[in-house]
Amino acid sequence: MYSMSDIRKNLKIVLDGAPYTIIEFQFVKPGKGQAFTRTRVRNLLTGNVTDRTFKSNESLEKADVEERQYSFSYKEGENFVFMETRTFEQLHLSATLLGEAVNYLQDGMLVDVLFWNDKPIGVTPPTFVELTVIETEPGFKGDTSTNTLKAAKTDTGATVMVPLFINEGDLVRVDTRTGEYMERVRNK
């Protein structure tokens, strides 16, 4: 159990039977009044973010969560097969569980799989990935502005908004947290 003085960012707790991580917290206390700890928490199963307030004498259940590193092996039917990097143990995950990560998977890519009570509940791809553009409208030569964007499809299946000068075959760096284009890595 955690007490209010244990609260810090990224602490994993159980609320209403689900695992949560603390994103933000704030101690509030009117001088002569009761103290509260206001928190913003993310549900690790659904990704939903909510505000929760705790009283100073409340305690919080510790969530038994653990992150382990896997590498992506191949797709098998509807499932995606990963391999534990130390034990080589295989893990089959569904597209639903992978969420956004499914759009960035590349052969051998290292991902962090989050387990709660030994069950996989989420996958975090590397923060930055390099993807090849396979489909986009032709670029305008010399247009180096980054303000106007167009859609581009990548080899992993992600659709990314990219500047006009990007062409099919270009390698682009993408932030997987936001799905945003960062920069062109090199031309075709």
Partner 1 sequence: MTAGDHVVRGRVVWATEGRLLVEDDHGTHGLSWGEAREAMIGAFAELVVASGEEPPRVVRGSVGAPPSAAFPRHGGDWRAFHDGERVAIRRLRERARALRVIRSYFDAEDFLEVETPIAVPSPGLDVHLDALEVRGLGAPRWLVTSPEYQMKRLLAAGLTRVVQLTKCFRRDERGARHEPEFTMLEWYRGFAGADALMGDTEQLTARVARELRGTTHVRIEALGARSDGTDLDPPWPRMTVDEALWRHAGIGLAELLPDEERFYRVWSHEVEPALGFAKPVFIVDWPASMASLARLHPDRPAFADRFEAYVAGVELSNGFGELIDAAEQRARLERDQAERRARGLPVYPIDERFLGALEEGLPPCAGNALGVDRLVALLVGAPRVADVITFGSERL
Q: Which of residues 121-160 bind partner 1 (CB under 8 A)?
A: none
Q: What is the 3-state secondary structure (H, E, C) of the chain?
A: CEEHHHCCCCCEEEECCEEEEEEEEEEECCCCCCCEEEEEEEECCCCCEEEEEEECCCEEEECCEEEEEEEEEEEECCEEEEEECCCCCEEEEEHHHHHHHHHCCCCCCEEEEEEECCEEEEEECCCEEEEEEEEECCCCCCCCCCCCEEEEEECCCCEEEEECCCCCCCEEEEECCCCEEEEEEECC
To partner 1, the closest distance from the beta carbon of 63 in angstroms equals 23
To partner 1, the closest distance from the beta carbon of 22 in angstroms equals 14
Binding region for partner 1 (CB under 8 A) out of 40-48, 50-58, 87-95, 158-166: 50-58
To partner 1, the closest distance from the beta carbon of 27 in angstroms equals 3
Binding region for partner 1 (CB under 8 A) out of 48-56, 107-115, 117-125, 147-155: 48-56
Q: Select 3 or 69, whichever has its Cβ closest to partner 1.
A: 3
Q: Which of residues 7-46 bind partner 1 (CB under 8 A)?
A: 26-36, 38
* Residues engaged in binding partner 1 (CB under 8 A): 4-5, 26-36, 38, 53, 55-56
